[in-house]
Chains A and B, each alone.
Chain A
C-alpha cells in the first residue's frame, strides 16, 4: 500500500475595510439595494478611469509588515481579461508580475503542540467582481454590481500545508491577523473572507508535485476542511485506481459534501494579462511604510507571549484569549479593573462570558456585561462575599440586565455566610435529621462526608462558605 502526502496552498481573498472602492468613490457598505453603489467607474462606462484608494494600499502594507514580508517599492497593476457578466469591464484590475507584498511567512500551531512556518508567496491588491443572482428573472440571471470594485487583498501561500487541518489552522491565523490589523471585518457569511484551495497529492518521499485541482470560493472554515479532505481522498482513489488527476477548477458542494468539476469556467482560460495602461506604477516610499508600521497594533503572537509572561497564563489560555483583539482587550480591561487575579479573569472570560456570547451568537463588543462589571462580580468572589457557584447565578442575572453584582447579591440575599456560629447551627440541624448516616459515618464510612457537605450547602441555599463548612463538619462529625 502506497503512502500518500497531500500538498495544499491557499489563496485567501480578504475584502479590505475601506469606506470607498479601490478605484472609485462609490461606497462599499454591505446590503445596499442592487446597483445603488455602482458608479460610472464600477459599471465600466465608456471613458471612465480608475484612481487608486490610498487606504487600500495602506492596508496592504500593514499586512505585509505583519507577516514580515517585503512591501514592494514599486508594484504594477495589470488587467486580467475574461468575459463574465459580473465583470463589467471585461477585465479585472489585479496585480500580476509585481505584487505590492511578497515573501512573508506565518507560524501556525499544530495539534501536537509543535509549530510550523508557512510561507506567504505574495499578497496583491485587486478589485472584486459583482454578483450574479440566479433566481428567476423572466428566465434570466440578474446582475448586481454593488460589490464590483470592492478592494481585495489576495493572500497566496506557498504549497507548505500538508493536511486539511493545517490549512484550516493557517486560514484561521490569517483571519485573526486581518481582523487584528483592522483591515478586514472577516465576515465570512457576507463573503468578506473566502479562499481557494490548491490541492494535490504525491507518493510520500517524491519531490515533484502532483497535478493540482483548485477548489474555488470556500467561505467557511468547516467547508475548507471538508472540501480539502474530500479532494485528497478523491485524488488518492483516482491515482490508486490507475487514473490521473486533471488540472482544473472545482466547486465544493456543501450539501453533498463533495467537490465537482467546473468545466464551464475552465474552457480556454487565457487571461491575457498586461500592465493596465490607465494606472501608473505604484510607488511606496519609506515614509508611507513607516506610517503603516506606526498604525500596526500589537499582533496576536506578540500579545500571546505577553499574556503568558505578564499574566502567568498557560499557552492554551493565552491563545484562546488573543483569538481576537476585542476579546484580549476585554480580558485586559477586566484584570485592570480588578487589580490582578488574571487567572480568575481568564477563566471567567473564556468560561461563562464566552458561553453566553456563543449561545446568543453575540460579539464581545455586544456583551451586556462590560469589563468593569465583570470585575465587580469577581471582586465579590475574591473577598468571599459569594462563592464561585453563586457567582454564576449572579452573572446570569447581570447578563439579563439585573444590574451590577452588588445589587444582584443584595436584592437576592446571596451574600455568603461566613459567621461560624450560623454555620454551626445549620450543621447541627443537618446532623440531627440524618441519624442513620451519622451512625454509618462514625462506623467508618468516610465517603458520607460529601453527603453532609451537600446537605449543609443545600440548607444554606449555597451561601455557606464551603471552606468553613468543611472544617466545622469534620469537627462536629467526629463527635
Chain B
C-alpha cells in the first residue's frame, strides 16, 4: 500500500498541472485577499486575521478539489487508468492510495495557501501600523482550517473524479454545485443548510461570517466532522463503483 501511495505522489510530481494548480491557487489567494484589503476590510477588527484566513481557506480548497478530481478523471482522460488497473487489479486499493496521497497533497496545498494568506494579511496590517497577532489561538485555528479544508476537498475531489470519470464534467459539476446548486438547495432546506458541503467548509475554515440563509454556521469541529463524513461516504461510493465498472 505504501508503494502505491508513493507512486501516486510521483504521478502528481511529474505532471505540470499539479504545479500549475499550486501556483494559481497562491495567485488567487493573494488576489482575493488583496481585494478584501482594497474594498476596505476592517483590519483592526478582532476577527480580521480569522476573516482573511478563512477566506483563503475557502478559495484555496476549490483548487485542491480540482487537483483531486484531475488525479482520477485525468487518468481516465489520458487512459493511463488502464495501466494503473493492470498493475493493481484490486481497484479499491488504487482508490485508497489516491485518497491518502491526495489528502496529504491537499494538506500541503493548504499549508502553502495558509503561508500566502498570512503573508498578505501581515503585510496589509503592517502597512497600517497594526501588528498582527499571528500566534494567537484564533490564528492557529484558522490556519488549521485552511489546511484541513484543502485536505478534505482534495479527498472529495478524488471521489468525484472516480464517480464522474470525465475531468471537464466532474469539474463543471463541482463548480456548479459550489456556485449555484448549493445556494438553491440551502434555500430549500433552510435550517438544514448548515450541513451542506460548502457551509461545512466555511465552518471548518473558521469563517466569522454568517450564511446567506441566516442559518448559523456549524462550529469548526462540527464542520470538520461533517466534511469528513461527506469525504468518507463519497469515497465508499467511488470505491464501490470503480471496482464494478468495466474499463473500456
Are A and B genuine complex partners? no
